[in-house]
């Protein structure tokens, strides 16, 4: 399974692997927002938590359909399904690889982009903490959506429609933690809710995704 | 003792049965060659044998995790080198040495070449070399000789021979004569009858 994780990470960094895709999108979105809403610092710092979280979420969504579609097209998914690794393990490893190549760079880039949006100084650590806790849920929920649409040509739109509603709780709690952190309020409740969503997604969705892939491979 | 056997097997594609009433057994040291025109259900049968889809009826008897499957797509990553591609599958299947497979299929000189730059025949050879690193006793192969030249077909045939001589078995769907001791099994007479009304239409609907 470590081999699979390592292969997926290697592929993402090789040419055409899509490593920079999510990060680039996140960067573009966040730098464009001040141009769109104007340079008023107070307004920017009020919307910064929401913008950063929405940007991270959309950046994650952008590379989701690659998780299984490429392996389905070149036959790797058939071979992985007959390999000694359980399909649930394949899904979990591919979701983890997606997080490492998409979610983790977003976490690391977010503080710099928060600076561009006048993010309140007290909110930085909560931004990092919530992204670190929340983005794995985006990858695992996304792997489920990608698995459901794996056999479909141009399944990206359908996948976005399936996945976006499932992303909303993570978005609400994530942005809420950052907002409360900026205002100096207690963050324990939304943080615990978000961690619960992430742990639940990691624990349950690989099984659902593996079942969806088995149906798609028939 | 047969390595893989099927009894009264019916296989379906898209919910519609394509072959029915299949029964055969393949023992260690045997090669079963499936024949039949295009669309007769050979691929569906092979996917069922490999466990990628459940039988419509009847059963497939084989040890769990004993089948290595190879189909039209070789599962290669264009940006990984030949050695990396093969090394990945070797790692997945428990770390078999890739050198014998590279040497056997004449891929030794190409080991650092990205798989995306290989010719169709070279890709196929790499896909077949994967079988040698799986260490699994039953090879289930779907038209393995597509895009291979005569010399490469001979390489492939000798790999299959060596595999069955070592106690393995193979089920191969092919249209050409591979030139070794083989049992030919024609699937044409087992074509599923379409006039039988079947009661489970839910899968066809899906």
A18 part of contact set with chain B, CB < 8 Å: no
pLDDT score at B181: 67
pLDDT score at B106: 87
**Which residues are B60's β-sheet partners?**
B6
DSSP-derived 3-state class of residue B81: strand
Give the residue from B133, B120, B141 showing the smallest Cα distance to B45: B141
**Integer Cα distance of B103 and B84 in angstroms:** 15
Sheet holding B183-186, edge to edge: B67-70, B138-142, B169-173, B31-35, B183-186
Give the residue from B163, B161, B167 showing the smallest Cα distance to B182: B161
* Cβ pair B24, B6 in contact under 8 A: yes
Q: What is the mean pLDDT of residues B106-110?
A: 88
Interchain pair A82, B84: CB under 8 A: no
What b/e sequence results for B127-138 when a residue is b if at least 16 CB atoms lie within 10 Å of its CB, and e otherwise?
Answer: bbbbbbbbebbb
* Cβ pair B131, B159 in contact under 8 A: yes
Asked if the model's pLDDT at residue A15 lies above 80, the reply is no
Closest chain A residue to B95, measured at CA = A3
- Check residues A93 and B29 and name the one with the higher pLDDT: A93
Interchain pair A79, B75: CB under 8 A: yes
Q: What is the mean pLDDT of residues B39-64?
A: 88
B205 part of contact set with chain A, CB < 8 Å: no
Give the residue from A45, A134, A32, A143 showing the smallest Cα distance to A87: A143
Pair of tokens at residue A93: 């490893």
Q: Which residues contact B72 (CB under 8 A, 6 or more apart)?
A: A75, B142, B143, B146
Biggest alpha carbon–alpha carbon distance for chain B: 57
Q: What is the mean pLDDT of residues A105-123?
A: 90
Q: Which residues of B touch A82 (CB under 8 A)?
A: 50-52, 67-69
A152 part of contact set with chain B, CB < 8 Å: no
ipTM score for this prediction: 0.84
Query: Please, how many CA atoms are within 13 Å of residue A198, restricted to the half-sphere of its CB?
Result: 23
Q: Which residues of B touch A7 (CB under 8 A)?
A: 77, 80, 88
A13 part of contact set with chain B, CB < 8 Å: no
Task: Among A101-105, B98-102, B179-183, name the one with the lowest average pLDDT.
Answer: B179-183
Domains and CATH numbers, chain B: 30-48+63-186 (3.40.50.300)
pLDDT confidence bin for A173, thresholds 50/70/90: very high
Asked if the model's pLDDT at residue B199 lies above 60, the reply is no
pLDDT confidence bin for B196, thresholds 50/70/90: low
The whole-angstrom distance between A66's CA and the closest CA on chain B is 13
Q: What is the mean pLDDT of residues B182-194?
A: 79
Interchain pair A75, B73: CB under 8 A: yes
Q: Which residues contact B76 (CB under 8 A, 6 or more apart)?
A: A74, B85, B115, B118, B123, B126, B127
Q: Which residues of B touch A68 (CB under 8 A)?
A: none
pLDDT confidence bin for B185, thresholds 50/70/90: confident
Interchain pair A7, B71: CB under 8 A: no
- For residue range A177-216, what is the model confidence (pLDDT) as tens digits? 999 988 888 889 999 999 999 999 999 999 999 999 998 8
Interchain pair B92, A83: CB under 8 A: yes
pLDDT score at B135: 86
Name the residue facing B77 among A3, A11, A80 (closest C-beta).
A11
What b/e sequence results for B50-85 when a residue is b if at least 16 CB atoms lie within 10 Å of its CB, and e otherwise?
Answer: bbbbebbebebebeeeebbbbbebbbbbbbbbbbbb
């Amino acid at each position: 399974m470590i081999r699979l994780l390592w292969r997926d990470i290697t592929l993402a960094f090789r040419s055409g692997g899509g490593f920079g895709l999510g990060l680039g999108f996140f960067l573009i979105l966040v730098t464009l927002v001040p141009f769109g809403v104007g340079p008023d610092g107070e307004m920017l710092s009020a919307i910064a938590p929401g913008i950063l979280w929405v940007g991270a979420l959309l950046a994650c969504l952008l590379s989701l359909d690659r998780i299984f579609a490429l392996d389905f097209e070149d036959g790797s998914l058939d071979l992985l399904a007959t390999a000694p690794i359980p399909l649930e393990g394949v899904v979990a490893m591919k979701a983890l690889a997606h997080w490492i190549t998409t979610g983790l760079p977003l976490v690391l880039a977010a503080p710099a982009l928060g600076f561009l949006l006048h993010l309140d100084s007290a909110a930085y650590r909560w931004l990092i903490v919530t992204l670190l806790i929340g983005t794995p849920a985006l990858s695992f929920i996304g792997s489920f959506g990608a698995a459901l649409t794996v056999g479909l040509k141009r399944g990206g739109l359908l996948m976005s429609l399936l996945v976006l509603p499932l992303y909303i709780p993570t978005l609400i709690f994530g942005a809420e933690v950052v907002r409360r952190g900026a205002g100096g309020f207690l963050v324990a409740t939304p943080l615990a809710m978000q961690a619960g969503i992430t742990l639940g997604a990691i624990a349950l969705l690989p099984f659902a995704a593996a079942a969806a892939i088995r149906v798609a491979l028939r | 003792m047969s390595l893989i056997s099927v009894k009264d097997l019916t296989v379906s594609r898209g919910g519609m049965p394509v072959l029915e009433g299949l029964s055969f057994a393949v023992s260690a040291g045997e090669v079963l060659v499936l024949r039949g025109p295009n669309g007769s259900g050979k691929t569906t049968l092979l996917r069922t044998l490999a466990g990628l889809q459940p039988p419509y009826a009847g059963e497939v008897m084989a040890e769990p995790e004993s089948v290595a499957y190879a189909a039209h797509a070789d599962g290669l990553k264009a940006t990984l080198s030949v050695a990396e591609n093969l090394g990945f599958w070797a790692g997945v299947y428990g770390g078999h040495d890739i050198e014998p497979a590279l040497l056997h299929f004449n891929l030794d000189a190409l080991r650092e070449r990205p798989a995306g730059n290989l010719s169709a025949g070279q890709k196929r050879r790499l896909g077949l070399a994967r079988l040698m690193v799986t260490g699994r006793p039953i090879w289930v192969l779907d038209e393995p000789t597509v895009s291979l030249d005569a010399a490469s077909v001979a390489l492939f045939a000798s790999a299959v021979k060596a595999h069955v001589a070592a106690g393995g078995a193979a089920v191969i769907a092919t249209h050409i004569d591979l030139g070794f001791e083989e049992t030919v099994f024609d699937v044409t007479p087992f074509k599923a009858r379409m006039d039988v009304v079947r009661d489970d239409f839910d899968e066809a609907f899906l």
